[in-house]
Structure 1
Amino acid sequence: MADKQAPPEPEITPRWPLTGAVAGDELVERPAMSIKIENSEAARPQTGLQAADVVWEEMVEGGITRFNAVYHSDLPAQVGPVRSVRPMDAAISASYGGLLVASGGQAPFINGARDAGLQILTDDLGHGGFTRSSARLAPHNLYGTPSLFLDQADESHTEPPAEQLEFARRADGATAMSEGTPADEVTISFPSARPSWSWNAGDEVWERHESGEPATTEDAGRITAVNVVVLRVEISTTAYVDPSGANVPETILSGGGAAIVASGGHSIEVSWSKDDPSAPVVLTSADGESVDLAPGNTWIELVPTSGSSVAVS
């Protein structure tokens, strides 16, 4: 009688930690890189934004927004316009580790990010990889080369990021699709910004608009997302001011609150939590289960609980 053979070990498919997408042979051992990108009217269209695995939209002075774009699975040739660090960037980027790239920033904000374990690269500090474009006026003309930023990573900032958000193996396994309700539009109102997302069923992505106009990039066309995550957050007014004299607001990224997850033309109301600045955001459904996103890129909207609104239709 022939000996029974043990069943073969299941093959593990490599996936990118920040998107949940299949990586295959393309998986690269490199750190995550958070880059601050401007979102004023003078900064549009941006460059390199569509290549980010995760983009966080945060409110800054005057009620406008700015982006913290996190790159890992894909590196665009150029990104920009690059702008300065804000106090919440330490809590946004700490769980990814690696690099935080910006034009500069006030010393307490830079030090806070460094204390959170990030390596800081800024134009103001003389790091390489930055260039000024003659096609735009300062300060909206600073651009960066991600490959040159990665070349400057020190020995303690070379490890790939840990997995952050939870991802289903396939898009149809996302929690919003299996437990949520159909949705065509996610409309957000910051005090001085009006982004929205429309579901494109043909391409199976959410398309971004700025005040009703299609949002685009110079290098990759339309800005799209596989997942849109809205976190309702508290805002604190700091004692620091920008060059115009306006107080710098800080998004409080600790504790938790209400959230909305939109994937696959569906949305679901969930909750978010973040135990400490170095921990990732955790999304939890009403029944206490973890929320799975669809594999792909994610935009996280940090929408204040006061003076802002979110509508899903």
Structure 2
Amino acid sequence: MGKRIGVILLLLLLAAVLCACDTAKEAVQASAAPDTPTPEPTATPVPTPTPEPTATPRIPRSNTSGKRLTEDEQPYQPTFISIENHRSARPQSGLMNADIVYEFLIEANYTRFIALFSDDRPCLAGPVRSTRYYLLDEVQEWDAMYGFQGYAQLSGKYRRKLRDYPNVVPGHTREFRRIHLGAKNVHSLYVYLADFITNNYGERSPERHDRFYFEEGIDYADGVSVQRVSLPFTKQAVIDYEYDAAENVFRRYQDGAVFEARIPDAEKEPAEYEIVPVTVKNLIVQFCEYGKVPGENQPGEGKGRRSVELTGCGECAFFIRGKYVKGTWTRETLDDYTRYCLEDGTLVTLEPGNTWIEVLPDNAAWSFAPANAEGAFVPAGAPDAADVQDEPEED
């Protein structure tokens, strides 16, 4: 009996010890620090890219006048006309309707215009006269149609075969008429321009190129304000321009007088016209190398034909909104077109309107007077009578 009781007590003691151990173990586990969860890595924020500023699209404009284009514009059909500048041929018709007018020195002390018409087509342009090889070189870069009367064929590197220029139309088509507006017969050939373009242009569509840009109110803060500009092609052929700040135009003078042009009335006979002073919105002076064609390259003539280099590069003077800005011109080949640039190499920006490009000898002693110059403007006088000669009937 006593032995059984001892066994029971031993078992109870053992159970108590085991229970105490389990309780202590649970207490230790309960008091242990809980596991700290491992934090997820924080994603590095990706910066939102700043959008590039969108370039303001250029307004669709005429590449000849800067006029804003609309969907109903007439087709782009640039057309040149060779226009006389002998004193007996003035005032000429159509010059104030041309988008661009180039002026070149030809023989002796004469200059000649090639007027580019695109946005406006006056009913009449002229007097129409002959071309020169370098006038053809200028027309070529525009891929334009060209009307003229007469051409002296040279040889060697000065030779230009008219059959190689499919867009030239010598003045014997029905759109050319003799109209005597007080001038002698040699200065009486005019062209009915709208008919000339309609009847001869065909389906061609020349490509447009930016030789310069246009923008209303363009201002060159670093430019020099000018009052007048004097451009001597020769000592006897001096062209003057005076800036009219009120109208924002340059007024042209030649032979000591205001240079004028006829604006024919399209609804009336050619003899009815308005005579107005020639004004220019943008004036570009393009300095080029002039020379003389050797005698052996102008057989049987001896008329002192000139040469002009229109490829390569050279200096320019831009006169825009009464400011003079320096620049350059470049044209790699005759198949290329001329780019007129500022000194930083960007295309010059002109004021919308007409542009006259004076292709001046690069050794000409040209000058300008600043806007604050003292003294009244006195244009160069007329040449002496001995220096004035009539041009021959045929060139």
Give the equivalent residue in structure 2 for 1:4: none
User: 1:288, CA displacement in angstroms?
Assistant: 2.5
Distance 1:155 1:110 in 2: 27
User: 1:110, CA displacement in angstroms?
Assistant: 8.8
Give the equivalent residue in structure 2 for 1:75: 121
Work out whether 1:222 is the aligned partner of 2:277: yes
Give the equivalent residue in structure 2 for 1:234: 289
Higher relative contact order, chain-length normalized (CA < 8 Å, sep 6+):
1
Name the SS for the 1:100 alignment partner: strand
Contact 1:31 1:97 in 2 (8 A): no
Contact 1:82 1:144 in 2 (8 A): yes
Tell me which amino acid in the other structure corresponds to 2:284: V
Name the SS for the 2:93 alignment partner: coil
User: 1:12, CA displacement in angstroms?
Assistant: 6.9
Paired residues, number: 297
Structure with the greater alpha carbon radius of gyration: 2
Normalised by the length of structure 1, the TM-score is 0.87
Distance 1:35 1:227 in 2: 20
Work out whether 1:309 is the aligned partner of 2:355: no
Work out whether 1:270 is the aligned partner of 2:327: yes
Give the equivalent residue in structure 1 for 2:213: 167
User: 1:155, CA displacement in angstroms?
Assistant: 3.6
Q: Which segment is superposed worse, 229-238 or 14-23? A: 14-23
Distance 1:77 1:295 in 2: 23
Give the equivalent residue in structure 1 for 2:376: none
Contact 1:29 1:160 in 2 (8 A): no
Q: Which segment is superposed worse, 29-38 or 212-221? A: 212-221
Q: Which segment is superposed worse, 23-32 or 142-151? A: 23-32
Give the equivalent residue in structure 1 for 2:196: 149
Tell me which amino acid in the other structure corresponds to 2:209: E
Name the SS for the 2:253 alignment partner: strand
Contact 2:66 2:215 in 1 (8 A): yes
Give the equivalent residue in structure 1 for 2:347: 290
Structure (1 or 2) with the greater strand fraction: 1
Tell me which amino acid in the other structure corresponds to 1:122: P
Q: Which segment is superposed worse, 13-22 or 225-234? A: 13-22
Give the equivalent residue in structure 1 for 2:130: 84
Work out whether 1:94 is the aligned partner of 2:94: no
Deviations 1:259-299, CA, capped at 9 Å, x for gaps: 10000010111111111113222122222222212121110
Name the SS for the 1:85 alignment partner: coil
Distance 1:11 1:252 in 2: 36
Distance 1:278 1:248 in 2: 24
Name the SS for the 2:200 alignment partner: coil
Distance 2:96 2:253 in 1: 14
Work out whether 1:122 is the aligned partner of 2:177: no
Gaps of 5+ in 1: 1-9
Tell me which amino acid in the other structure corresponds to 2:78: A
Considering only aligned residues, what root-mean-square deviation do their CA atoms show, in Å? 2.4
Distance 2:162 2:291 in 1: 18
| Identity between Structure 1 and Structure 2 (%) | 24
Deviations 1:157-179, CA, capped at 9 Å, x for gaps: x3155134212322325xxx243
Name the SS for the 1:309 alignment partner: coil
Name the SS for the 1:67 alignment partner: strand
Name the SS for the 2:289 alignment partner: strand
Tell me which amino acid in the other structure corresponds to 2:191: G
Name the SS for the 2:366 alignment partner: strand
User: 1:146, CA displacement in angstroms?
Assistant: 0.6
Tell me: CA distance 1:273–1:224, structure 2 relative to 1, closer, same or farther (3 Å).
Answer: same
Q: Which segment is superposed worse, 79-88 or 144-153? A: 144-153
